[in-house]
Amino acid sequence: MDYSSLAQKPLSEVTERTEITDGLVVVTFRNPYIARLARAGQFVNILPRVGAIDPLLRRPFSVYQRSGEAVSVIVQVTGRGTALIAATMPGEMLDVLGPLGQPWKADSTEREAILIIGGVGVASMPLLTEVLKSSGKRIATYYGARSEKLIARHGLEAIEVATDDGSAGFHGTNVALIDQHLSEKRFSNPKLYVCGPTGMMRAAKALAEKYDIPCELSLETEMACGIGICQGCPVVADEATFAKTGKRFRLVCTEGPSFMSNAIEL
């Protein structure tokens, strides 16, 4: 991968901005390079304010959608950086670097894909769905959210919803729902693809162990660089990996963001 010509022009014009609900915004920008190369599960790194030294660092976002030369990210406002990015208006510029990280390992042999989504963890799922569909997997999507209006269905398949407030679908966590469905033997050869808050990821990891099924988790850690030069974004490797390789940590930005659940500690 050689970025040298294109990645030096990270300035990307925002072409669309859609508010899903208060504090949850889809921002679309023009970046032919990222649009062409990005694969499901990779992310882009966005500077909250072009040219500013405060905020100093970029913010990572999964590639949510792309079409033609346009790339979209779905931004949940959680602090000052996301607030600035979510407020960017069409015509304004964003400074975007990417695509970064490794794609979902969607080419594994299992015939069924269970997508487990918590909140804005939906971000990498439309592209994943696309890949899984094109390779003929059976997809089941379990989407947990605080309430119905926070659900972004676009690009997903076979969605089962679980909401904390019971405003739609199953009243409870999506992991509890999958547990039920797994125990009912609704799947014969599944793999879990998981992205959401840490608590949900831990539950999914436990579920995978309980039913002995492969499970891939897409992680979020603070990142200073996103490209493997700061060592700031480690996740703890599992004991077996550590014993074998001496590697206590793995970098989420370059080795991840997704890891097999048995390769890491959470």
Ligand X SMILES: Cc1cc2nc3c(=O)[nH]c(=O)nc-3n(C[C@H](O)[C@H](O)[C@H](O)COP(=O)(O)OP(=O)(O)OC[C@H]3O[C@@H](n4cnc5c(N)ncnc54)[C@H](O)[C@@H]3O)c2cc1C
Ligand Y SMILES: Cc1cc2nc3c(=O)[nH]c(=O)nc-3n(C[C@H](O)[C@H](O)[C@H](O)COP(=O)(O)O)c2cc1C
Stretch 63-92: interaction string toward ligand X, x if CB under 6 A = ----------xxxx-xxxxx----------
Minimum CB separation from another protein for residue 9, in Å? 10
Q: Which of residues 200-239 bind ligand FES (CB under 6 A)?
A: 223-226, 228-233
* Contact between 184 and its own copies per CB under 8 A: no
- Which of ligand X, ligand FES, its own copies, none sits in contact with 53, Cβ below 5 to 8 A by type? its own copies
Nearest to 38 by CA among 120, 122, 123, 134: 123
Give least dist CB 229 to another protein, A. Answer: 4
Q: How far is the CB of 55 from another protein (least distance, A)?
A: 6
In the complex with ligand Y, the residue whose CB is nearer, 230 or 236, is 230
- The count of residues interacting with ligand Y (CB under 6 A) is 2
Alpha helices of the chain — where are they, by DSSP H?
32-37, 80-86, 125-134, 174-183, 198-211, 239-245
Q: Which burial class, exposed, middle or buried, applies to 176 when counting CB atoms under 10 A from its CB (0-12, 13-18, 19+)? A: middle
Helices (H), 135-263: 174-183, 198-211, 239-245
Q: Could you tell which of ligand FES, another protein, ligand X, none binds residue 73, using a CB distance below 5 to 8 A set by kind?
A: ligand X
Among 116, 203, 204, 235, binds another protein (CB under 8 A): 235
Q: Can you spell out the DSSP letters for 25-71? A: EEEEEE-HHHHHH--TT-EEEEESSTT-SSS-S-EEEE--EEETTEE
Task: Please say which residue, 78 or 245, places its beta carbon nearer to ligand X.
Answer: 78
Provide the residue type at 217 as one letter.
L
Q: Report the interface residues with its own copies, using CB under 8 A.
A: 52-54
